[in-house]
Amino acid sequence: MKIRRLHLNDFGVFRNETLEDIDSSLVVVAGPNRAGKSTFMTVLRYLGYGFPRKGRGLPFCVRQYEVEADVEANDGMLFNIRLQGHSKPVVSPVNHDREMTAEQLFGELDAFAYRQLFTISLDELRRLPEGVDKREQDNLQVILLGGGWSDALHLEKIRQQLDKEATDIGGKYGKIDVKQFKPYGQKLEEALAARDEANSQLETYYEKVAELQKLSGEVIPGFEEELEKLKGQLNRLALLTEYLEQYDRMVVLKQELEQPATAEMLHNPPAVTIDRVKSVQKEYETAVKDYQELEREFAGRTGGLKDDLKDGLLAAGDVLDAFAAKLSGWKVTLENLRLQKARHDSEGKELTRDLQRLNAEWKEGFAALAAVRVDKVSESRLQQYVEDYQETLQKYRQADRELAQTAGELRHKEQELAKQTRPDDGLQKRSLLLFAGSLLVLLAGVIVDLPAAIVAGILALMGTVVYFVTKNSRETEVRNVYHSLTGELQNLKTKHQTLQAAVSRLREEMTEQERMLDEIRQQLNLPVATPYRQLLDFYYKISELKKRYDRWVDSGRQLEEQETAYRQVLAEAAALLQQLGLYHPESGDILVHAEKLFLAVEQALDYLQLARRLHEAERRKQDVEREIGKILARHRLDSGEPEDPALAADMLQRVMERLENYEQLKDRYDRYQNLYRALMTALDTTAGRRLFRAYKPETAAENWIIEAFGSLRETFASKKEVEKEYAAVEREMAELDRLLEEARAKKTTLENEVAELRSEKRIKQALQKMEEARKELEPLAEDYAVKRLAQLMVSQLQERLLQSTEGSLLHAASETFSRITGGEYRHVLPPEDLGSIDFSVQTGGSRQKLGVEALSRATKEQLFLAVRLSRIKEIDPPLPVVFDDSFVNFDPKHVAQVVEAVKKLSETHQVFVLTCHPQLLEAMQAGGISPQFWGLDRGRFHGPYADAAHVLPLLSV
């Protein structure tokens, strides 16, 4: 791109200045200080970018900056760029229609880069241009080193960032136990430890199993066996302690009992016990005493002891017992009989009275009653007859009364009729005749027309009618009465006749009935005068009386029978008592004296009871005597039963003494036996036999256990010794118990451990934890590795970029630098630190490597100029380059070399050289390409000129 025309207005010192036909290769603007050169450079700097609001070198303006330029693109097309104020440049095509932007015209190069590379004042040739901030400083390096270096600059940042990030994760070396790895590393460590431990549990398991087997199979059973033994010993000692004294007593008793006499006596034990003898003694005394007392009582009561009475009583005992049972019955019976008798007698009297009351004629009493044949007369028949008769009588009386009445009426009617007028039979005839005559009169009168006749006729007619009516009514009444009376009379006559017939018939009937009733009266043996209507009443009374009589006769007979039987009973009793001499009968009916007999019976019963008790006492006495006899016989104290029972008591006493001796012996024997049995019971058990098995004698009897016990007993002098031994064994056992408990506890622990060890739970948990730890660690570890690898790649990328920079860009810069410095320096070397712009150089001769700081100001400026020039050449498209008195610090020789370089540059680029130095002007004029010259003085351009001479005078001022 090249600037071909430029118009400046209101831009610092410039007012409506236009530069036409600007040269497209090398343009030199000469002017004294303050002519506006730097302002001009500012215009060129911002032409493609617009003026910033703030910035070094921006001039004042009255209204607003106005800059306009025609530029030629690489392809030769013209574009117009307009800048107004601080606005962005507006680009428009000139004489064509191809659109281009300012950016495109300036090859997308940014403002900073353009300024730094293409518009070079002294500032730009310093290591750090004035007014460049830190960010721009970085940028500067990119600009100086070329396109790749923008990335290279980032690369360093990236590298540092990656390094930091990686270090944050895993420190410098990515060790598992640092930084962010640490918790996972620890977790993994723990999991590994847990896994190793769990894995080792297999050995532990089998070790523990073996240990457990030993414990269960040997140790514990051994302890248990030993303990069992001690327990046996302890139990034996316990038994020994408990039964030692008993055993000792038993042994003493045994020795005593083994004496010959004693043994013999024990072998023949008495058949009776001493208690028995004592009780017999007692029984005998009582029996004798009882007997004697009763004997006295009997004699006292019965008036001297009469054996026959006692025997008689005992013999009749059963009968008397029966009497005793019946006696009260007898008394009651007697009372009843007497009462019945009295009642019977009174009843008979009453019967007689009633009979006489019924028929005084019956003088013969009960005999008359017997004659009445009640049974022959049927009650119903009698009743029927009486009723029939009464009925007939009633009818008869009724009929008779009616007959008398009818006769009376008849007579009366006959008299009445006789008094009655007879009726007139010619009235009608007469009346008719009168009527006819009257009518004739009338008719005659009409015919003759005799009014008198007519009147007479009418009057006569009327009179006839009145007569007839009057006469006829009276006559009718008479006729009616008469006829009625004759009818009634006739009726009465008929009735009278009928009644007469009925009365006679009833009369006959009654007669017949009376005859039959009379017959019955006879049968009932009643007086003839007895009215028929009382007949039934009599019948009832007689029947009743007859029944009562019959009953009375029966009861009298029964009473008689009872009395007879009762007398018999009493007679028997009386006979027995009489025989016993306890009753003496009275003369007369026994029933009358029965009370005496009863008293005798009661006495007999009293005696009987006494006799019986006496008899019983005697029998008991004899029983005891028999018992004594038996005892004596058994003990052979005598040949047999004592003759005299009185001796029995003495003999019994002797028996007693012997028995007491035996008892004492027996007691000892029993005690021995008890001790023996007690020992046997205590020792001869399954447990006991087991305990003393060790002491079992070779010839084991049934009761070997006692012997065994004895053997053990003999090993101790005293019970105290046994107790001492017991305590010792107890202690031993306690110790063993403790050991056993320990072993068992250990066994339980082992069992639990083994069960625990069998399980895969722990190993699996450990593995899972490991897996988790690895899983959690892995992304982090990957992150670390990726960042470190990336960091490595970035480093290598930087190296390669550096190498390529050295190889290309810096190669060009070195060439330029070497040329400018006339070979004094040969190479420009890239900065050690890619983040800085500290290039170093190598001298031509000694090939010494020097840092920037070691160079003179001019050489430094030459270096940066060389670097810029080489960069400018790299950038496509070529853009206008401006040098604003950039070479003032160079000595003439170097200026010439720089000018040469600038001229060479102008072959490809449009170059503006602004200067106030005549020497430079001359140098530019000299040799090779001749530049276009412009003069600038206080904001006014003039030119262009082909010769520097036109502008030189401006500089000489």
Partner 1 sequence: MGRKVRFIHSADIHLGSPLKALGTASGFLRQKLMDASYTAFARVVDAALRYEADFVLLSGDIYDSEVRSVSANQFLSEQLRRLEKAGVPVFIIHGNHDPIGDSREYVRLPGNVTVFGHEQVEVREVFNKDGYLVARVLGQSYRNVSESRKMYQTFTPPDDNAVNIGMLHTGLNPAANAYVPCSLEDLKSRETIDYWALGHIHRTSIISREKPAVAFPGIPQGRDAGEPGWGGCLLVEVEKGKSLEISFVPTASFIWLTQEVCISEAAEPPVNVDDLVELIAAKARQLLNAKPELPESLVPAALEKTEVEGYLVRWVVTGRGTLHDELIAGREEEIARALEARLRQLLGSGSPFIWTERVQIRTGRPIPDLAMLLERDRIFRTLNEIYHDLMHDPAKRKQALSVVGSVWFQSKDHEDVRRDALPLDDGKFKELLLRARDLVVEKIIEGRDGE
CB-based burial of residue 2 (10 Å sphere; 0-12 exposed, 13-18 middle, 19+ buried)? Answer: buried
Q: Determine, following the binding rule CB under 8 A, whether residue 49 of this chain makes contact with partner 1.
A: no
Cα 771 from Cα 769, distance rounded (Å): 5
CB of 155 to partner 1, least distance (A): 7
- Please identify which residue in 410, 793, 850, 952 interacts with partner 1, judged by CB under 8 A: 793
Cα 882 from Cα 41, distance rounded (Å): 7
- Residue 203 or 832: the one with the smaller Cβ distance to partner 1 is 203
Cα 854 from Cα 328, distance rounded (Å): 180
Binders of partner 1 among 206-235, rule CB under 8 A? 206
- Please identify which residue in 185, 457, 831, 939 interacts with partner 1, judged by CB under 8 A: 185
Write each residue from 578 to 617 as x if it is in contact with partner 1 (CB under 8 A), else as -, in one continuous string: ----------------------------------------
Q: Residue 71 in contact with residue 4, Cβ under 8 Å? A: yes
CB of 755 to partner 1, least distance (A): 10
Segment contacting partner 1 (CB under 8 A): 72-80, 762-770, 864-872, 905-913? 762-770
CB of 688 to partner 1, least distance (A): 48
Number of residues binding to partner 1, judged by CB under 8 A: 58
Cα 236 from Cα 250, distance rounded (Å): 19
Provide DSSP, 813-872: HHHHHHHHTTTSEEEEE--SSTTS---EEEESSS--EEEGGGS-HHHHHHHHHHHHHHHH
CB of 893 to partner 1, least distance (A): 39
CA dihedral 487, 491, 494, 499 (to 10 degrees): -160
Cα 115 from Cα 42, distance rounded (Å): 9
Beta-strand (E) ranges in 42-153? Answer: 66-72, 78-84, 90-93, 119-120
Q: Residue 915 in contact with residue 902, Cβ under 8 Å? A: no
Q: Determine, following the binding rule CB under 8 A, whether residue 784 of this chain makes contact with partner 1.
A: yes
- Please identify which residue in 213, 428, 522, 796 interacts with partner 1, judged by CB under 8 A: 796
Backbone angles phi, psi at 207, to 5 degrees: -60, -45
Segment contacting partner 1 (CB under 8 A): 218-226, 437-445, 596-604, 773-781? 773-781
Q: Minimal CA–CA distance to 773: which of 166, 172, 176?
A: 176
Segment contacting partner 1 (CB under 8 A): 6-14, 182-190, 617-625, 879-887? 182-190
- Residue 705 or 801: the one with the smaller Cβ distance to partner 1 is 801
- Please identify which residue in 759, 836, 848, 908 interacts with partner 1, judged by CB under 8 A: 759
Helix, strand, coil content of the chain in percent (nearest 5): 70, 5, 25
CB of 685 to partner 1, least distance (A): 48
In angstroms, what CA-CA distances link 77 with 43, 98, 105, 878, 887? 22, 9, 11, 15, 34
CB of 736 to partner 1, least distance (A): 34
Backbone angles phi, psi at 571, to 5 degrees: -65, -40
Q: Which residues pair with 945 in a beta bridge?
A: 933
- Residue 153 or 743: the one with the smaller Cβ distance to partner 1 is 153
- Residue 760 or 874: the one with the smaller Cβ distance to partner 1 is 760
CB of 824 to partner 1, least distance (A): 33
CB of 793 to partner 1, least distance (A): 5
- Please identify which residue in 357, 764, 857, 938 interacts with partner 1, judged by CB under 8 A: 764
Binders of partner 1 among 65-84, rule CB under 8 A? none
Q: Determine, following the binding rule CB under 8 A, whether residue 562 of this chain makes contact with partner 1.
A: no
User: Is the alpha carbon torsion for 767, 769, 772, 773 positive or negative?
Assistant: negative
CB of 769 to partner 1, least distance (A): 10
Segment contacting partner 1 (CB under 8 A): 31-39, 489-497, 660-668, 756-764? 756-764
Write each residue from 134 to 173 as x if it is in contact with partner 1 (CB under 8 A), else as -, in one continuous string: --------------x-xx--xx-xx--xx-------x--x
CB of 777 to partner 1, least distance (A): 7
Cα 639 from Cα 944, distance rounded (Å): 204
- For residue 137, give the DSSP letter: H
- Residue 245 or 760: the one with the smaller Cβ distance to partner 1 is 760
Segment contacting partner 1 (CB under 8 A): 241-249, 299-307, 713-721, 763-771? 763-771
CB-based burial of residue 318 (10 Å sphere; 0-12 exposed, 13-18 middle, 19+ buried)? Answer: exposed
Tallying the residues shown for the chain, one arrives at: 957
CB of 741 to partner 1, least distance (A): 29
Write each residue from 489 to 508 as x if it is in contact with partner 1 (CB under 8 A), else as -, in one continuous string: --------------------
User: Is the alpha carbon torsion for 942, 947, 953, 954 positive or negative?
Assistant: positive
Provide DSSP, 251-274: HHHHHHHTSHHHHHHHHS--SS-H
- Please identify which residue in 520, 777, 895, 951 interacts with partner 1, judged by CB under 8 A: 777
Q: Determine, following the binding rule CB under 8 A, whether residue 265 of this chain makes contact with partner 1.
A: no
Q: Determine, following the binding rule CB under 8 A, whether residue 789 of this chain makes contact with partner 1.
A: yes
Give residue 183's region: left, alpha or beta (phi > 0; psi -120 to 50). alpha
Give residue 321's region: left, alpha or beta (phi > 0; psi -120 to 50). alpha
CB of 952 to partner 1, least distance (A): 46
Cα 816 from Cα 570, distance rounded (Å): 197
Residue ranges binding partner 1 (CB under 8 A): 148, 150-151, 154-155, 157-158, 161-162, 170, 173-176, 181, 185, 188-189, 192, 195, 199, 201-203, 205-206, 757-760, 763-764, 767-768, 771-772, 774-775, 777-779, 781-782, 784-794, 796-797, 800-801
